[in-house]
Structure 1
């Protein structure tokens, strides 16, 4: 695959969907590869971490696209792997209008497309840093290529949360979720289609958003906790935890889950 001399072509795999190391080393004898969560505060979730790969010159990965296309995207960047992986680590979370951090699933094609739809061209360039192109390898995907300038400053993992979203952008992204997300959430929570259940579902989603949870994954986890632990979740101890802006949404939900499972309002 021919590239400009100063541009590298990377593969970013969704570790929650694929056995990324197995696929990588099965089809490449000498790749550069690393987990995005490695060395960060998210390392406890390394098993589901995104996985960045710079294939070797003789890589067979390009010939085996069917093995990773469902859970991978291609990235062209004016950067080496050490610089790019640090920049991507800085994007693991973005900052909400409330000041809280929320996971940004830029490594999932459908999420990246929806996310970029609410950004201006200048914001897409800033977010992308040294990346000049994001590419979806699936032939049936709703988008194929997102091109950026590749000249913005590359960030470091220590800067995680530097990218800020506005309230209108959050509302626009939530609007793209629409009824399909509510239908999936209703099915997951095993709620019927009666009016009372619909109102309850909308109340759970609104409550999650008021607490600073905006990604689909965070809303699903919060709604599940609120549905099955309504009294515990609204205890003073849980509310103090929810209002702690020093924690990421993942950390909050993880701690809430453990606390409520133990009986947890204390």
Structure 2
């Protein structure tokens, strides 16, 4: 029997939780009896995603909506199964919908990973992603496009913040009433391949358009928040303004 990957529930704000998976995070927003799930980890994290919902005292059936930051396998891998089992609609930005459906793929290539295989942190990371199901077909055919402006009519009423570059349709999600910003992969605080801790961009090989990814961080500066929930790395307490400044100042330190 397959073992459910370990995860840790980190309370972020009232009714908001960052779920720390082995290599990637997802988030839960509670609003009354309903939940919004943001992202869902690798395919092999599917049981962990459901277990994390139970760990905050809810049921997977309480998820009224699933939001996608972007269509990489480590963020959407469990979502097709989750939607099929529990009937929750899955949403992504209009520009990201065809990516989630795999009409095209903006993801690091095996050849680029191989060129970096000499780096000590790469082989164990590759071993994990293979075990986690990164080679499986993870497309979510039923994904729906979000409206062009927020707040969204889903639990927590998050406001999408377009941050293209990591992928063409990457979105962050702002919860102004709770002082939280879910940053996906637009800005992270750690990664298995990074020696840095704290706000930073991902290694450049993960970005579809590195220049655009660094530039689009500016959209986060005006978000009123004091807590950041990244796609990778621990929760970070501080303003988006400070986090963006730190991340951009350290961009040259991330290979």
Q: Structure 2 length as normaliser, TM-score?
A: 0.26
Higher share in helix? 1
TM-score, length basis structure 1: 0.25
Q: Which has the larger radius of gyration?
A: 1
